[in-house]
Amino acid sequence: MATPRRRSPYLRMEWIDAETGAVGWLVVDSLVQGMATGGTRMRAGCTVDEVADLAYGMSNKTAAFDLPVGGAKGGIDFDPKDPRAVDVLTRFCDAMRPYLDRHWVTAEDLGVTQDLIDTVFARLGMAQSYHAAIARSDDPAATTARVMAGLHAHAPGGALGDVIGGFGVARAVLAAARATGRSPRETTVAVQGVGTMGGGTAFYLHQAGSRVVALADAAGTLYDPEGLDVPALLDTRNRFGEMDRDQVPASVQRLPREALLSTTCDVLVPAAVSYAITADNCAAIDAAIVVEAANAPTTIDAELDLTARGIAVVPDFIANAGAVAWAWWLLLGWVGDDYRDSFSLLDAQMTSKVTALVAGWRPSDGPIRWAADVSATVRNPEPLVVP
């Protein structure tokens, strides 16, 4: 099977902050009905190629879940811990206002929480980061109220808008495990990253009875072969997704951050930075399945190596697409502020897609990504109507 051909994005735009020198980009990979969706990230070292890769992935996500929108991404090369970061993000969004007004729906991503980006949008008089879609509504005020109610609705583990992505990844992990003959309670998992996505994934896997044996944050890896007390550890996190080592039980081993990737487990979940798994470190991976919770966490050459070893890699644009799919279901009024409706719909869709991909996969077919890639699909959905 041939690797899907990569087309050029619809638009690339560079921005330079006059006050700090920070550089940012908007890449619109595709437009559907004049709209594209994708979060905005901020990290020191972010590049335009990274943003373009992520925008391409967003086109795949929206196509895979049959959403009436194309793919885009924003990125800023700046440290989100810098006290000037909020102002940098505000100026970036202000510069992108023509696209945010009409064409680009954005949201949280690495280094940018949903609350933060909503605060920035409120500063700019746009109320909420789904502004471009909400503006198409016959009653923008009512749509904004529905969206905000859904985002902040209570769910096990936190606010629904914060945990829905992790819930989707957890269901992808469980579906992949079942497709390879493992029950939830027989499945051991290592999760790299305990931010919104990684933390949610670990929480719901623990809740399902799986044994989360390793968690990693910027300070290192916490490991216990008997299984970690995930909820207790997550409760110690600060706003940057780092666990308080003073509250870690003495029985838990403290290992270097990079040790997470070599943890012996059934499923490895990279849920932190892009390009975490490379040709230089992929040989150390000791898992049967990799489920990509982060955006673009595995380089192409590393994925080919893992595939050759018989390790199934469930691609990011399937495994972590739950957050964007749910956001559009919320916008379109298909779900509301009852988390059970959202969990039920996402569970059904994620389980179906992952099971179909993993159950029929053989290493000789090439990476699962090749079979799952639908970014080139020409879509002519019904006219987008936001109620």
Query: Active-site positions?
Result: 73
Handedness of CA 101, 103, 105, 111 (dihedral sign): negative
Strand, helix or coil at 177? helix
Could you please report the per-residue DSSP string of 212-263? EEEEEETTEEEE-TT---HHHHHTT--TTS---GGGS-TTSEEE-GGGGGG-
> In a 10 Å sphere around its CB, with 0-12 CB exposed, 13-18 middle and 19+ buried, how is residue 197 labelled?
buried
Decide if 215 contacts 233 (C-beta within 8 A).
yes
Q: Determine the angle formed by the axes of helices 322-331 and 140-151, rounding to 10 degrees.
A: 140
